[in-house]
Amino acid sequence: MKRFSAVLFWSVLISSVAVLSASLALPPLASAQSEASRVVLQGGGETIVLEPYAPNVLRVSISMDDAAARSAPGYGIIAKPDPAGWSATEANGSDVYKSSRMTVTVNHPRGAASTKLFGNTGTSVFFRGSAPWAHIGFETNDGKKLVEMKGWGQAVYNHKDGTAQLANDFRPSDPKSFVMSASFSSRDDEHYYGLGQNQEGYLDRRGHAINCAHDYLAAAAPTVCVPFMLSNKGYAILWDNPAKTKIEAGFNEQTRFESQAGNRVSYFIIAAGNADEIYAGYKLLTGPTHLLPKAAYGYIQCKQRYSTQEELLAVAKGYRDRHLPADMLVVDWFYYTKMGQMDMDPKYWPDPKAMNKQLHDMGFETMISVWPRFTPESRYYDTVNKNGWFEKLADGTPENGLPYDRAGSDIDTTNPDAAKWYWNIVHTNIMSLGFDALWADETEPDLPPNGAFLHVGPGTQYFNVYPYFHTKALYDGYRKDEPNKRAAILSRDAWLGAQSNGTIFWSSDIYPTWDTYRRQIPTGLDFAATGLTYWSNDTGGWQWLPSVHKPAHPPLLDPSDARKVVGGYDDYPELYTRWFQYATFLPIMRTHGSREENEVWSYGKGAEPILEKYLRLRYELIPYIYSLGYKTWETGAPFLRALPLDFPDDPKVADMGDEYMFGPAFLVAPVTEQGATTREVYLPAGSDWYNYWTSEKVKGGQTIKVDAPIDTIPLFVRAGSIIPFGSMVESTHDKQSIAKVRVYPGADSSFTLFNDDGVTYAYENGAGSITHLKWDDGAQKLTHEGAAAWSDSDSSIVEVVGQK
C-alpha cells in the first residue's frame, strides 16, 4: 500500500502515518488540485483522494486512473480546498481524517491490485465487480453516524449491463469513459430531499428511482437534474458528475448513484446540525443566490403569447386603469421574423424602444424570450457554423432536430467565445430596445446532447451542464455591460451553481389540470431543497385547455361569463383561482399559459375579486419577501421550504408534500381538490399556530379541519413570527412604506428587514438599509435597531395579535 502527500498535513507531522517521500509522488498534472490541500491514498489499483473545503465539507474522489482521481471538481463548483483544522492518522489498519466537525474513516485494499479484490473468490471466476472494494465512513466527532460509502464502480461499457451502445457516443480522441457509481448506506428511518425537479408528485425521494437528467419528455412533466441530496440524518451528498445519472434512494438499505459516463467517482459530503448549515455548505461550494431586481418579487404577467406591441400596451393599461399591482410583462417567442434572427417583426412590433419607454413610465419592466437556436436561413447561422460554435455531431456538422423539428441548431455556450458572442448579439439586438429581463428558453438544450459534442467534451459525459453555462453567459454579460441593472434570467433548466447566475427557474410546459397543479407543490419543494430558491411555475398551466372538461363536483365559480377564455372547461375558473392563491406564496409569482386571455379579469366576475385580493396581498408582503431574498443571498438557504427542513423531529412531516413554509412565518396549505371548501391541515409539533384569516391560536402537533371557501387558502402563522406589511403600491418602483408590523406572540423571535434601491448590485458592498426587529415574548415587547424602517410611532405600526 502506498500513500502520497506532498506536504505532511500542514502543521503537524503525524508520525504514525506511513508516507513516501515527496520525491516518489507522481508529477503534478495541469488539472490536479494542490497536493497540500488533501490526502491521497493508493492501493489495490485505485486512488482515493480526500479533499476538505471546510471543517464540515469534504470531497471524495476515487478512480483506477490516478490522474482522474486527482483532477479538480467539475463544472459548477467554484470553491477552493481549505484543509485548515484537518489532520490525518492511522488506527486499526484504517486511514482516519478528522476535523472539528467530522471524522472520516477509510478502509480499502492494501498492496498490488488483484482479481480477488474485485469479487469473492468463489464467484469471481465468472462474476466480478468493476473496481476494487473501498469503504468510507463519515461520523460526527461525538460518534454520531452520518453515512457510509459502501462500495463504488468503474465499469467499461458492456452488453451484460446494457451499456455497450454508450461507447458509440465517444470519438477515438475522447478520454476513456466508464459507468461510474457509488453506493451509500441508508437507514430505515432515513428520508431524502432535493435532486432537482421530478414532477411525479412525491416529496421524500426514498423508495424512488430518479433519472437525473434534463428530460422534456419525462412521464409526468419535464425533469431537471441537480444532483444535490439532503438527508434527515444531518448530511447532504453533492454528486459531482454531469452525465445522466440514475439515483436509487433507500432501496435494500442503500442509496446508489450511477452515472452513464466519466472516469472517476467524485462527491462531496456536507455535515450539518440543521438544514440551513447544509445550505451554507452548498453556497460555499457553488456560489451565492444573488438578489433579483425587486420587480421580480412582485407579479409577472405573461401568456403564450402577446403577439403585438398594441396588445402588450393594452394589457399594461388594463392593470393601471384598474389600479392593480403588477411589475413585469413578458414577450414570449415568435416575435422575430426567423428563429435566430434576433429581431422583432416590425409588422407587429413597430417601435419596441418607444413601447418599453412607455411601459417603464407606467412602472412596468419587460422580459423577452431569447432562444439558443438558429435556423440555416437566419442571419447569424453561417457565422456560428463557421466558428464551430454549434452543438455538433462527430463529423463536425451541427446537430438539428429534423425531420420533425425545423428550428435549427443550438449554439454551444459551453464554448467561452460562443458564450460572449451570444450575449453580445442578444444585448445589441434585443436588450438595446429597452428590455430589462431575459427568458432563456430551451436551456436543456433543446436538442439533447447525448451522442453529440460540446466544447467541454462529449455530450453524453456532459449531458446536464448546458443550463449552467448558458445562463452564466447571460449573467456575466449583465455584470459587464449592464452594471447598474440586476440580472433576471428565466430558465427552464438548472445545474449545480446555476442559482448564482441571476436565475429564476420554472417547471416548464405543464398541463392545466388539477393533477398537475397538485404535483407542483412537492415538485417546487424538492427543487428549492436542492439549493435553488427562485422556483416558479406557469400559474394555470401552459398547455392548451381541453375543449370540454366536466368536473366531478359542481364548480365553485360560474364559468358562463368566461367562455371566451375557458371554453367548455367548466371548472377552470375554480382551478385557476386555487392555483393563483398558491402562486401568491411562491418566491416568484408568474402566470402563463396558452389561453386567449390570461389577466386577472379574464376568468369571470366570480374569480376576478378573489384574484385581485391575492394580488394585493402579494404586494403587501413585498417587504417580507424581499427581506427573505436578502437572507438567502447571505446564507444560501431557500425560503420556499418543505416542512421537514424546519421540523426535522416531527416524523409526520417527513413526506408531507402538500403543505410548506414560506419563510419562517407562513405555513401554506393549498386547496388542490376540485369542489373542496374545507381541507385538513397538519400543524407541526413544537410550535403554536395562528389562523391567518381569523387569528385563532391552535396548538401544534395535530391535524385540524379548516374552512376553505373559494376565496380562502388555508394559511397559518407560526407563533413568534414578525411580519412586516407594506403600503399598497401598483409597482415595486413606487415608494412603499411599512404600513404595519404584525407580531404573533408565543415565542421569542427576530426578523431582519432589508430594503435598498431594488435595481443595482450595491447591496453586495453594504448598501441598503437593515433593521433588526426583535420580539421579547416574556416582556410582550417589540424592539428594533439599525435603520429607521418607519417614521410613524411604534404604537401606530406595531400590531400584536391578541392584544387590544
- Residues taking part in catalysis: 441, 444, 509
The full length of the chain comes to 804
Q: Quick check: 373 and 339 in contact, CB under 8 A?
A: yes
Residue that has been written with the C-alpha cell 453594504 in this structure = 766
Helix (H/G/I), strand (E/B), else coil: 116: helix
Helix (H/G/I), strand (E/B), else coil: 34: coil
Q: Quick check: 349 and 309 in contact, CB under 8 A?
A: yes
- Which is it for strands 437-440 and 365-370: parallel, antiparallel or unpaired? parallel
For residue 546, give every residue at least 6 positions away whose Cβ sits within 8 Å of its Cβ, in sequence order, or none: 568, 569
Q: Quick check: 12 and 5 in contact, CB under 8 A?
A: no
Name the strands in the sheet holding 192-194, side by side, starting at the edge strand that comes first in the sequence: 2-4, 39-43, 46-54, 57-63, 265-271, 235-239, 228-231, 192-194
Buried b (16+ CB within 10 A) or exposed e, 205-229: bbebebebbbbbebeebbbbbbbbb
Strands (E), 449-572: 453-454, 457-458, 489-491, 503-506, 535-536, 548-549, 568-569
- Could you check whether the bond before residue 305 is cis, i.e. omega within 30 degrees of 0? yes
Cα 165 from Cα 71, distance rounded (Å) = 27
- Could you check whether the bond before residue 28 is cis, i.e. omega within 30 degrees of 0? no
Cell of 787: 435603520
For residue 29, give every residue at least 6 positions away whose Cβ sits within 8 Å of its Cβ, in sequence order, or none: 67, 70, 71
Read off the DSSP letter of residue 215: B
| Residue whose C-alpha is closest to residue 407's, from 449, 371, 450, 440 | 371
Q: Quick check: 708 and 678 in contact, CB under 8 A?
A: yes
Strands (E), 320-452: 328-331, 365-370, 373-374, 409-410, 437-440
